Amino acid sequence: MTELFIDGVSVVLPAAVEIQVKRENPFFTKNGEYTYDIELALTNAVNARLYNHLHRLNSIKEVKTKRRAVLVADNRVFCDGTEVITGWTEKSVSIQIASGNSELNYFIGSDKLVSSLDMGSAPMPSAGRKNRLLDKMYPEVEYNLPPVLAGETMINPFELEYYLTEQKSGEKAGVYTELSFKEVADGIYIPMPYMATVMEKMIQALGYQIVENQFTDTPWKYQLIIHAQQTTEYAKMFPGWTVKEFLEEVEKLYGILFIIDSRKKSVRIMLSANYYVAPPVAYLSSVKDEYVEETEDEEEDVNIGIRNVKYDLPDSEYYKKRRLPDALMEMAERKNVVGIAAVHDFFANKSNGMELVTNTSTGIEYIRTSFEKEDIGGKPHTLYRGCPVNEYADLVYDTGRDFVTLEMIPVRHGAVPIKQTTVQLDGRVTYANVLRIVPVLDSTGDLTASDENVEESTSSQGIEDYIKNNNYEDDTSKSTVYLGFYTGIKKQTGYLRRPDSDPYPTVYTDNILNKGLIFHTSYSGMDDAKMSLAGESMELKVISEHLYKEDYDIKREKKFTFHCYDPNIYDIRSVFVIHNKRFVCKECTYMIDASGRKGAWEGVFYPISISDTEALSRWILTDGKWRDGGVWLDNGRWLDE
């Protein structure tokens, strides 16, 4: 028997009803569970009462209700989600049921703006207390206030304030320096939210609760969104972005999946690399037909772990150095040296400017850069050093495949003057401007300037000149979300004109603060101050190693279609044992008529190679037979794999 409940009411189904139910695996597609159109007559009293409101509406767009819909057949729930009205006449109405990820897709549509959501506001500290946030990080705080240069305006300005005091310990006197970060009275202060915060607020605004969040178990939880929107409302920080676009970009960048439970209105945020770690296991019986075909499903597969990936970077000198154009990669001569001192020595004494040098101790690549320096007599001369490059190089798994392009990209950095006040021992106050490295946003949104002017750069023949003098087409037409990490106040030693180990609120995109800024000569033999707490980086190869890499092998090039009479409804995320082999399910289709399930159901599967430890986290006794990773043969004998 088949029943359909809308808002708790059992509707009257046609005698000859046939309902097709589709269940798709969110590991492979962006859908969940759904039905195709179900036509209901409005000529009976039950259905007429349920859909009486439709006659007052003029179009489907005016349907605001989100009523629960449950399809039950053979005493099993085949679909539990939300009713979607697709059309109606005076005599009938057509509906679908959307459940799981399909329900989420229905709720957000294709054009629902992030700015339309109620995601709450950042609780800003009162005047004079904002600097108390600077040494905190997620999850202790939802956002932070690092200084950011937007056009010519410093957002979240904090001046350096030093107090010199003299203290005596026995017969020894010493001068001690106390540093604080002073809030500017008329400054503009804008909260920069952590990505983890935005994910949580957005999911909650859509009506779901997060019950598991694997993203916050990674160092990428420290990722901060850098913007210049003068608002404390989280939803207003992403003008022009739809919810669909935002969630898709998050899925791509971090290799995560949003797994929706419509019945509980809950969400699990999972890393795709962990999806099949200790999964449920299903043993299919009564499998009748099998079809095998060679296939390439790359264009519809949402799993980024098997794709080529690149950032959609602006066409500027700053970003060209961080992802060298292909033409320059082909022109460059390759050299390997060991250690940062050897890198700078090579470029100072042996380089012609056309080499791409790799420091084998770190894997970082360098090109030659130059700047003018005056000797003691005031005579200018040119110094050559190594400039780190290719920080954001493309991630290539297979040159024959297309690229996934990421529109959320690493923020640009620059060295900017910060006001410094020093209260001397005698009470005098002195002032100075000191350079600090901060994120830089251009007010026009088109990043074109370079910040390699910590020392004045000069032209020199080599790869650097090609970067400065040649344009490479970039047809970015959509505003970009800029990202960096923030884990508190950091020392910026190794990046400035003079030796300076004083700390500052620092946004970084890699373990090294900014690979494109020129080193001071005093630091030519020294590695830079480290930034990362746990290896977090915007380098795609690092992200791939931590977030994309899977410990199982799914053979997507071979697709199996099975027809099965097994009466159970299995979790589609299971590892299925069929004919003594392991598979994962991409999708399955059921036909339902008035009597219940009709005939065999069809499933599309891929073979998977996975260890017993991952496939079976414990022994299972459900039918009087122990299962420990082996399988029962058709003749009743046990085979250990």
Q: Is the pLDDT of residue 638 over 50?
A: no
Q: What is the reported pLDDT for 110?
A: 77
CA 348 → CA 369, 390, 468, 479, 620, distances in Å? 10, 21, 20, 40, 67
Q: Which residue has the higher pLDDT, 392 or 466?
A: 392
Q: Which residue has the higher pLDDT, 593 or 436?
A: 593
Q: Which residue has the higher pLDDT, 411 or 363?
A: 411
Tell me phi and psi for residue 395, to 5 degrees: -100, 115
Q: Which residue has the higher pLDDT, 211 or 634?
A: 211
Q: What is the reported pLDDT for 501?
A: 58
Q: Which residue has the higher pLDDT, 377 or 100?
A: 100
Q: How many CB atoms lie within 10 A of CB 352?
A: 9
> How far, in Å, CA of 452 to CA of 93, rounded?
65
Report residue 61's pLDDT band, with 50, 70 and 90 as the boundaries: low
Structure-token pair, residue 204 = 């909650």
Question: The pTM is what?
Answer: 0.85
Whether the Cβ atoms of residue 247 and residue 258 lie closer than 8 Å to each other = yes
Q: What is the reported pLDDT for 469?
A: 57
Domain ranges of the chain: 2-109, 275-302+554-639
Whole-number percent of the chain with pLDDT over 90: 60
> How far, in Å, CA of 158 to CA of 184, rounded?
6
Whether the Cβ atoms of residue 227 and residue 483 lie closer than 8 Å to each other = no
Q: Which residue has the higher pLDDT, 454 or 411?
A: 411
Whether the Cβ atoms of residue 63 and residue 55 lie closer than 8 Å to each other = no
Average pLDDT over residues 72-92: 93
Structure-token pair, residue 548 = 């994309």
Give me the residue label for tokens 């679908």.
96
CA 233 → CA 117, 144, 349, distances in Å? 10, 14, 54
pLDDT in tens, 290-340: 777 766 655 455 566 667 999 999 999 899 999 999 888 999 999 999 988
Q: What is the reported pLDDT for 173?
A: 63
Neighbouring residues of 344: CB distance < 8 A, sequence distance ≥ 6: 385, 386, 519, 524, 525
Whole-number percent of the chain with pLDDT over 70: 81
Neighbouring residues of 431: CB distance < 8 A, sequence distance ≥ 6: 419, 420, 421, 422
User: Taking phi first (over 0 means left), then psi (-120 to 50 degrees means alpha), and beta for anything else, what does residue 510 get?
Assistant: beta
Report residue 505's pLDDT band, with 50, 70 and 90 as the boundaries: very high
> How far, in Å, CA of 348 to CA of 542, rounded?
30
Q: What is the reported pLDDT for 586?
A: 96
Q: What is the DSSP letter of 298?
A: G
* Residue (of 293, 266, 269) closest to 214 by Cα position: 269
> How far, in Å, CA of 363 to CA of 107, rounded?
45
pLDDT in tens, 111-137: 899 999 999 999 999 999 999 999 999
The mean pLDDT value of the chain amounts to 84
* Residue (of 512, 631, 578, 534) closest to 291 by Cα position: 578
Give me the residue label for tokens 């705080």.
141
Report residue 621's pLDDT band, with 50, 70 and 90 as the boundaries: very low
Report residue 60's pLDDT band, with 50, 70 and 90 as the boundaries: low
> How far, in Å, CA of 574 to CA of 584, rounded?
7
Q: Is the pLDDT of residue 615 over 90?
A: no
Least confident of 224-238, 308-322, 580-594, 626-640: 626-640
